[in-house]
Structure 1
């Protein structure tokens, strides 16, 4: 708008000044931003305090609520700070004072609160009219020497009073207590530290200003949080100290306990910094109800005045280590603290590394020592000047008498002062001091005291001048004050450090043990320590191994190490991955857990084979080993293990299965194995693995054996890798035998095979074929859930076409469902069963 246009406006509107809205908004927002950054949200690098914290501490000092004085009502303190220095809401002042009194918020609290100041559960403090407070002794160290012109003062909000722009800060508060704040376009989040470590690091810097950050970290090892807990991994700490930014992972401190009744518990005694305990327990309970956390039967908060104690009761079939790892994964028992070291340096925000924070603190203390010394020197010289006047007056008795006579003859003090100045050459200050001197100072003893004070003061002034003249003296003073501070307030670290956690996984906490993996026909899975199974003589009645429903029975049983991978193949041709330690543990007699809860298997699919693999990351291993698969219709397929080395949550297709077929058996081979495929009809085919070329992951495979009749099906595939092995065959009625593998002539794949057992009504059809040696043991399971473990060496080698011997006694309506071999253990409990000879049939039909 032009001036001419302004003249044409009505008289009342001619004072309107046109302004560009964009420029006005920009300028106003910049002013607001700077106000928030400088006067509200960011701490000063020198004392580590924001303005509100500084005003609260100074207001309490002015009010006289020191650590050795009575408490005063919080409302009185808030009113003092509010009325004099901080013209904002009373809640901002009270909340600040409350936080400085909470031992779980500040590593070294600055306020001593009396009353309800909240709790680690997030409870609100009582109203300010109910609580009382005073300064702690360490807070007084922050204010020490503030009346000696050590810091600059500035007018308060109404220019009626002065307030400090920074505190002398003998304590390295920025590192010791940390801070957090959100400004405009930036934020700060600084971690608390241990006072002893920070002082040691500061002293190391003073002694060697060229010290590297890595050397400082030998003293200041890591943040030290007021709630303790464990710092899990060190890379984040290193990043924060070197760059000013880093992420520190915190884990609660937990231990395992067993009650008198045998129930296992996880006891949490320390939680991560800034975690609300009550909220954490509530959220954990919700996760348990949603089935996202398993293995926990109850949670209780048993914390009291003696300390924190959160109890997690563990279910019988759960592994405490696994439960704890899941708690770390899904709850706030593990949290992260993002370090962002932003502070004001000469009024401007900067991101600071560890050395820079210490450097600016030392520079501030150096300036405080200089200004304090200058103030003390000035005060000492003032006193020295007065003492010199005393010495002139008290030089001799005659001079003293003349002074007294002059004062007595003077009509008023001004005449007396003038006379002293003119007659004895005194300054106005000295003359005034002599006029105010009491007559008792003229006694001999008092004169000696004045002379002694004069000598001591002269030495003191020389010392102060020496301090101002030499920087090394000033640095020594700073070191001595820090050492005194450390000795008075230093304590032990609360937060532990696990340095190697960067490559640490949940699996590292699981011991490497042999486990028996059991999978039932209806899909219940469990793992049981191999030592729970006892060795029996052949022909014994066995022991109860699995509690199953009447129509369920054990279908898969094998031994694997807890750190092995399980490749789980279904009859539809899919494969899933699971670590052995992730399988729920159960007793020998327990049912186990439904496998659908562990892998994403479809409801109409079934587990057909599970093999354990040592590693999926070793390139040489996965490229030189193969997965050999066989279907019930005799289709066989070989694929490199590498094709199955990338685990996926929902599994992948391992083989393409035809509509009238299903996957039956899977084995891990080395490329030079012999393959034996046995059929229900009692025949088996034997060919070399090289007859089957490696195929792609989704290929359908080639014919391995020809079926005989509509009811004939493949019952097992065996990959033979040992020259001294025998072939064990077992029928459904409990008969079995072992024969030399050489008795099964090698043919090309696709044939009908040779007779493996003479199948009769007495023996029943063939149900299993296994590769065994003398040192193996057999685990035989029937459909009623009875299991028996026998030694292979108890079975003598027989001819290929024989009927065999009775391996296990069966009821008339019972049948064998599964036969698995396990390695023989060195130490087992031998349980005497029936004599091996008593159960052996005489019908060998050699």
Structure 2
């Protein structure tokens, strides 16, 4: 008989019903809180997440001082995992590696020996090959940890103690930054300059209600370990620091090198923060193959210790600013670094803070550390003074003390009774060495007693005065500022600020497209393609069954195409994005959001500065600047307001000073263009009045040059200004019957 799978005790009695929804909520909340508190968000006081704090503390336990020897990283990781951090060794090693990378961390906390990865994105060597120890920055974070400066808690196995937070004498949160994704929240803090943060903190001590704007007089903005140039304006940075949310646009630093005889090359010396150089080069190479960078000929990596990327322009006439602007648009040579100051306030509450709040909480922590260390020192002084007063009594009565020790059965009790000593003092006297019974020793004890008494008075005065405490905190911060002054190699500002050069967006757009001649072909059913070269004839073009050519015109791949529909909408597409000449192209409706009941009226190459005349079937019209109908989205722009059955019938360039309008009733009216309004959108005004029917055609012309048209046989007919007087009138009149020889279809083009 098989083993029973029933629970012991008869089954149903041991089953507890659980509300699944509530159980899931409780468990997910527990997981979310664990992620927020113990993994993803840094503490505002020391700027560290638990894994980093444990790494630094374990290195201190192992005695890996900045001026000491290195130890294998594997040993450090094992120590962290065994004592403090019950997670995977690779996760701990990855965190340790990042703390050592001078291109990832502005002020490294770990001094690494061996291969710790590089800016190309290569990984560090395995932990058994690398060695590590603390840096001076890490020692500053730990300063005072033995002096009851912070709270401790039991480790996960309850066999040891670990700090809840580090004393944090260095403004680590903002100086080194942090990134992390928790449950329902994230943090992203770029690195800053430590000297600037110290200056801002000292200003905040002097003026606790200082605004973010005042603090930005000291903190100019981020200071990335890889340098680069921030191109945001001060107003947007101020808003980011005030709200705790925003971002910074960082560009690579570049310069031109003269090669003689008018030639030059561009050299990139600093990369944007967290951009992998090797990946960037691959991206640029892909763009070159795809012919998206027509101004660039080649890219070479000549980097050694320093970054040196060489960009070779297509020819010496290429504008370097235009070339770089096109690269900034298409590659990570310009990168956005987000700011989301989401941190654990007081180690407990996740909160998005402003710059002044972050610095205030760090200062409050520094003051608390000062108070705790002072109280710890005060207790130690009091214990020592207690012993010293006992020693002094012993020296003043040395012979009697010796007699009691030699002769009495219980010398400790006799000493306490005879000289009114307490247990600690009597024990200390009994433990005293014979060699201490010199005459000189008494003088030294008196001297130490006086010094400690003086120190005790000073500490008591410090603990009693808030202003003295802040003065001491400011003095400590001032010392840190000296260590990381901008004059030092580690402390100098690496990232600079600049306004992005004002470049013509049109020119940049063209700089990203290879200029080639094409012919735009649009069919009656709205299929579009871009055929290579400028075609001379279109008879050989093939179309789908039932479809035929609507219009074809020459263009270049760098051109923008404007498409106007019968519904009065205008769309803009880039000529470089059109399907090639093989096949029948693609329906326009797939490229733009064109309504099914609308058809293509016309299409043309966008000419900036040109004006167009729009006219509807019933004879309404107005003039619009072509730049006003250019649309940047698939939805296009509604330019002419028409309602079925009325449609947009004509879209023609505005030239000359008069407009000739022909109705389907074969009446011609000519009037000055100045009688037409210029609008960005609307229904328009009446051009010509009809009893029935609508507009057939219109043409703008200069009256002095006369009016011409082409008949169905291709003959050109012209009428001088003097012969047109009977047709000239005012807008909205009916006009007169067209002159002899005018095409029967009522169109100027025959």
Using the size of structure 2 for normalisation, the TM-score is 0.72
Secondary structure class of the residue paired with 2:286: helix
Alpha-carbon offset, residue 314 of structure 1: 1.0
Secondary structure class of the residue paired with 1:701: strand
Secondary structure class of the residue paired with 2:625: helix
Alpha-carbon offset, residue 101 of structure 1: 0.2
CA 155–638 in structure 1, closer or farther in 2 if over 3 Å, else same: closer
In the TM superposition, what are the counterparts of 1:415-434 in structure 2 within 5 Å? Answer: 415-434=410-429
Partner residue of 1:544? Answer: none
CA 286–357 in structure 1, closer or farther in 2 if over 3 Å, else same: same
Alpha-carbon offset, residue 356 of structure 1: 1.1
Is 1:460 aligned to 2:455, yes or no?
Answer: yes
Alpha-carbon offset, residue 653 of structure 1: 13
Alpha-carbon offset, residue 87 of structure 1: 1.0
In the TM superposition, what are the counterparts of 1:580-659 in structure 2 within 5 Å? Answer: 613=609, 640-642=623-625, 644-648=627-631
In the TM superposition, what are the counterparts of 1:147-226 in structure 2 within 5 Å? Answer: 147-226=146-225
CA distance in 2 between counterparts of 1:423 and 1:130 reads 66
Alpha-carbon offset, residue 43 of structure 1: 1.1
CA 521–384 in structure 1, closer or farther in 2 if over 3 Å, else same: closer
CA distance in 1 between counterparts of 2:473 and 2:186 reads 31
Secondary structure class of the residue paired with 1:206: helix
Partner residue of 2:71? Answer: 72
Q: Deviations over 1:358-417 (max 9, x none)?
A: 11111111110000000000001111111111222223xxx2222222222245xxx222
Partner residue of 1:371? Answer: 372
CA distance in 1 between counterparts of 2:388 and 2:613 reads 106
**Residues 109 and 137, structure 2, Cα contact 8 Å, conserved in 1:** yes
Match of 1:486 among 481, 485, 490: 481
Q: Deviations over 1:585-622 (max 9, x none)?
A: xxxxxxxxxx9966979989x99999763xx9xxxxxx
Secondary structure class of the residue paired with 1:140: helix
Aligned CA-pair RMSD: 4.3
Is 1:405 aligned to 2:403, yes or no?
Answer: yes
**Residues 118 and 125, structure 1, Cα contact 8 Å, conserved in 2:** yes
CA distance in 1 between counterparts of 2:605 and 2:373 reads 82
CA 295–597 in structure 1, closer or farther in 2 if over 3 Å, else same: farther
Partner residue of 1:809? Answer: none
Partner residue of 1:563? Answer: none
In the TM superposition, what are the counterparts of 1:794-833 in structure 2 within 5 Å? Answer: none
Partner residue of 1:448? Answer: 443
Q: Deviations over 1:801-842 (max 9, x none)?
A: xxxxxxxxxxxxxxxxxxxxxxxxxxxxxxxxxxxxxxxxxx
Alpha-carbon offset, residue 507 of structure 1: 2.1
Partner residue of 1:57? Answer: 56
CA 746–256 in structure 1, closer or farther in 2 if over 3 Å, else same: farther
Alpha-carbon offset, residue 421 of structure 1: 1.0
**Residues 412 and 430, structure 2, Cα contact 8 Å, conserved in 1:** yes
Is 1:477 aligned to 2:472, yes or no?
Answer: yes
**Residues 638 and 692, structure 1, Cα contact 8 Å, conserved in 2:** no
CA distance in 1 between counterparts of 2:131 and 2:721 reads 96
CA distance in 1 between counterparts of 2:420 and 2:218 reads 60
CA distance in 2 between counterparts of 1:425 and 1:21 reads 70
Alpha-carbon offset, residue 263 of structure 1: 3.8
CA distance in 1 between counterparts of 2:605 and 2:7 reads 96
- Which is greater in Rg? 1
CA distance in 1 between counterparts of 2:553 and 2:677 reads 18
Match of 2:698 among 667, 677, 701: 701
In the TM superposition, what are the counterparts of 1:244-283 in structure 2 within 5 Å? Answer: 244-260=244-260, 262-283=262-283
Partner residue of 1:285? Answer: 285
CA distance in 2 between counterparts of 1:409 and 1:331 reads 92
Q: Which runs of 5+ in 1 are unaligned?
A: 1-6, 512-518, 524-548, 553-570, 583-594, 617-625, 630-636, 656-662, 676-686, 718-743, 752-846
CA 638–357 in structure 1, closer or farther in 2 if over 3 Å, else same: same
Alpha-carbon offset, residue 431 of structure 1: 1.6
Q: Which runs of 5+ in 2 are unaligned?
A: 1-5, 486-490, 509-514, 520-532, 537-549, 561-572, 586-601, 615-619, 641-649, 660-669, 679-683, 686-694, 701-705, 728-750
**Residues 175 and 194, structure 2, Cα contact 8 Å, conserved in 1:** yes
Q: Deviations over 1:656-684 (max 9, x none)?
A: xxxxxxx9x96766xxx699xxxxxxxxx
Q: Deviations over 1:417-453 (max 9, x none)?
A: 2221111111221122222223333323222221111
Alpha-carbon offset, residue 333 of structure 1: 0.8
Alpha-carbon offset, residue 551 of structure 1: 12
Alpha-carbon offset, residue 61 of structure 1: 0.1
Alpha-carbon offset, residue 236 of structure 1: 4.2
CA distance in 1 between counterparts of 2:62 and 2:717 reads 94
CA distance in 1 between counterparts of 2:374 and 2:361 reads 20
In the TM superposition, what are the counterparts of 1:114-133 in structure 2 within 5 Å? Answer: 114-133=113-132
Partner residue of 2:341? Answer: 341
Secondary structure class of the residue paired with 1:221: coil
CA distance in 1 between counterparts of 2:628 and 2:552 reads 16
Alpha-carbon offset, residue 700 of structure 1: 3.6
Is 1:322 aligned to 2:322, yes or no?
Answer: yes
CA distance in 2 between counterparts of 1:699 and 1:129 reads 86
CA distance in 1 between counterparts of 2:292 and 2:252 reads 20
CA distance in 2 between counterparts of 1:194 and 1:551 reads 61
Q: Deviations over 1:49-105 (max 9, x none)?
A: 111111000000000011011100001111111111111100111111100000111
CA 14–333 in structure 1, closer or farther in 2 if over 3 Å, else same: same
Alpha-carbon offset, residue 321 of structure 1: 2.1
CA distance in 2 between counterparts of 1:522 and 1:30 reads 60
Alpha-carbon offset, residue 220 of structure 1: 1.4
Alpha-carbon offset, residue 506 of structure 1: 2.9
Alpha-carbon offset, residue 265 of structure 1: 2.3
Q: More displaced, 458-467 or 208-217?
A: 208-217
Secondary structure class of the residue paired with 1:506: coil
CA 506–699 in structure 1, closer or farther in 2 if over 3 Å, else same: farther
Using the size of structure 1 for normalisation, the TM-score is 0.64
CA distance in 2 between counterparts of 1:331 and 1:8 reads 63
Secondary structure class of the residue paired with 2:106: coil
Partner residue of 1:557? Answer: none
Secondary structure class of the residue paired with 1:259: strand
CA distance in 1 between counterparts of 2:236 and 2:637 reads 37
CA 652–93 in structure 1, closer or farther in 2 if over 3 Å, else same: closer
CA 455–276 in structure 1, closer or farther in 2 if over 3 Å, else same: same
Q: Deviations over 1:707-765 (max 9, x none)?
A: 699676599x9xxxxxxxxxxxxxxxxxxxxxxxxxx98764799xxxxxxxxxxxxxx
Partner residue of 2:391? Answer: 390
Q: Deviations over 1:276-306 (max 9, x none)?
A: 111111112112212233221111111111x
Partner residue of 1:830? Answer: none
Q: Deviations over 1:329-372 (max 9, x none)?
A: 11111111221111112412111111111111111111100000
**Residues 705 and 749, structure 1, Cα contact 8 Å, conserved in 2:** no
Partner residue of 2:310? Answer: 311
**Residues 534 and 554, structure 2, Cα contact 8 Å, conserved in 1:** no
Partner residue of 1:301? Answer: 301
CA distance in 2 between counterparts of 1:339 and 1:377 reads 42
CA distance in 2 between counterparts of 1:495 and 1:705 reads 65
